[in-house]
Structure 1
Amino acid sequence: MTVAMRWPSALPDAVRAVSVDAGEKVLAGAVAADGAVLAGTALALYLVDPVGETRRVGWEQMQRADWNPDDGMLSLSEVGAFGGSRPVYRFAFEFEARFLAFLRERITSTLLLQRHVPVQGAKGLFVIARRAPGGDRAVTWLYEFEEGVDVADPEVLRAAEAALARARDEVGDL
């Protein structure tokens, strides 16, 4: 269920100036202390670094958004690829509850399935299915291991692949 949120019409000039893909419109955004700009549309988050380089990240590629009130930092992490590093972005700016709510709602809206599967005692992995907000791309299936699970163990990898295949068979193409 999607909840309609009212956003202030007065976005900062730097946010309104972000160039987004055709058919998209900036709905929310913030300017970080270092001049980086975050601009969110219905389909993606645009990250503009202080020198003007822009990175577009589809909401289905974002794993989470966390605000740390102790240091005033927003951390955004991408889903990442198995065996690779997960891109994490950190921005300092004054707390903006509505923007954080927007980020979390957009990220959560892409989540179709998240199932815990134990593989080493109670520890295990999550099988996850995500869909792009526009619905124009296939569902992305992945798994994420919990801390402490030995991902180098061939049995763990086999169990992860089997759990992923089982979930895809049970759920279908969504």
Structure 2
Amino acid sequence: MKLRRQRPAPIDGLEPGERVLATGGGPDGEVAATTHRLLLRDTSVEWARVETAAWDGDAELLVVTEVPDGRGQRRRHRVALESPRRLVDVVREQVTQSVVISRHVPVDGRRGVRVTGRRTPADLITWTAAVDSGLDLRDPATKARVDAAVALVRNEVE
């Protein structure tokens, strides 16, 4: 007897070339992981915009945190799901796969900046830089060292 993986249900509104990899559901509605993004009830998040995704098994919540926006704000999505094992695995795989490079570069002792490049569905790389607490970007010398660290990491890839 052959065991076959059940195909995910069809999803409307997919982009050309986008495929559904896994789905899950719960009290917060259906969730789908595609080749390009995570589709939530009210929104979708490209994999390159996901900073972290974690499964809280006790609360049965998928917690997805987006990379900071231009003001440094991170959107967090909490989605209640029932038995989402395959979905959680696929989300982890897609988030990990989107990261091209992630380096912590010291700029003042051990304090520094984490520079991360993530690949978009359009095959472009988006960049984020997260500065360690205690670094003051208003200080011109610190800002210059952070900018140099970002350029150093980008040059490794571009």
> What TM bracket, shorter-length normalisation?
0.7 to 0.9
CA shift, 1:107, in A, is: 0.9
1:23-62 matches, within 5 Å, as: 23-35=17-29, 37-49=30-42, 55-62=43-50
For 1:56 and 1:111, the matched residues in 2 are separated by 18
Contact 1:18–1:39 (Cα < 8 Å) also in 2: no
Count of residues in correspondence between the two structures: 155
CA shift, 1:172, in A, is: 4.1
Structure 1: 5+ residue runs without aligned partners? Answer: 1-6, 50-54
- Percent same amino acid at aligned positions? 29
For 2:96 and 2:40, the matched residues in 1 are separated by 19
State the partner residue of 1:9.
Answer: 6
With the length of structure 2 as denominator, give the TM-score of the two structures: 0.82
Structure 2: 5+ residue runs without aligned partners? Answer: none
Structure 1 residues 5-56: Cα deviation after superposition (integer angstroms, max 9, x where no partner) = xx83253xxx534432233222211113232x2111111111123xxxxx23
With the length of structure 1 as denominator, give the TM-score of the two structures: 0.76
What is the Cα-based RMSD across aligned positions, in Å?
A: 2.4
Contact 2:119–2:126 (Cα < 8 Å) also in 1: yes
Higher relative contact order (CA 8 A, sep 6+): 2
For 1:125 and 1:46, the matched residues in 2 are separated by 30
Q: Secondary structure at the match of 1:102?
A: helix
Partner AA of 1:158 in structure 2? A
Structure 1 residues 127-146: Cα deviation after superposition (integer angstroms, max 9, x where no partner) = 111112x4x34311221134
Contact 1:63–1:77 (Cα < 8 Å) also in 2: yes
